[in-house]
Amino acid sequence: NAGVTQTPKFQVLKTGQSMTLQCAQDMNHEYMSWYRQDPGMGLRLIHYSVGAGITDQGEVPNGYNVSRSTTEDFPLRLLSAAPSQTSVYFCASTRSGKNTGYTFGSGTRLTVV
Amino acid sequence: DAKTTQPTSMDCAEGRAANLPCNHSTISGNEYVYWYRQIHSQGPQYIIHGLKNNETNEMASLIITEDRKSSTLILPHATLRDTAVYYCIVMTGTASKLTFGTGTRLQVTL
């Protein structure tokens, strides 16, 4: 049981490049979400999903796209990277309606130059 | 979701109990109190949650006041490894997203 797996762990992008941050969970969790954490700051919600085929925007969705084609995977796409997107990105999941805590991945550290 | 208020920082000596308070005066009847922590550079970790009764698990205890307007997370014997930012979050049990505040930075010292 691997929990929530995020790849890559580190990434450097040039301004304007695009990339996809991967998130996979093997716990059959319906709810998944993406957060970003800037240095010295709290976590802010980017996008979230309550099940396959259903996604919604969080607090800071601009510049990011998501899709949820399977229960297990919830990739985050950066369309055209900007230095302001330099951050640590965390993916999280939990079981719906079971009143349990979220499980977080170990994060992806992204630098946009 | 109800708003929470936590102290910015706290210190605790190793081996002593760490008591982290949280105010949530606007909590609704169907909202739970959740606690998470984030050790430096790692993903947040779920600690414990409760509705109105006190709860205990292998990590911590959660004391909720009778009026449910405040709570206290207790780490009974704090260690250096407990140094982290602790987040108190109030939300319904079926909520589909977490909203983090600024949390309390707990420093455990020798």
Tokens 């499980």 identify what position? A103
Nearest CA in chain A to B44: A104
Q: b vs e for B44-60, b when ≥16 Cβ sit within 10 Å of the residue's Cβ?
A: bbbbbbbeeeebeeeeb
Confidence of residue A98 (pLDDT cuts 50, 70, 90): low
Minimum distance, in Å, between the CA of residue A2 and any CA atom of chain B? 15
According to DSSP, the β-strands at A10-13 and A108-112 are parallel
Please tell me the distance from the alpha carbon of residue B88 to that of residue A96, in angstroms, as a whole number: 20
Hey, what are B99's tokens?
């909203």
Nearest CA in chain B to A100: B93
Please tell me the distance from the alpha carbon of residue B51 to that of residue B48, in angstroms, as a whole number: 11
pLDDT tens-digit series, residues B38-70: 998 899 999 999 999 899 999 999 999 999 999
pLDDT tens-digit series, residues A16-70: 999 999 999 999 999 999 999 998 888 999 999 999 999 999 999 999 999 999 9
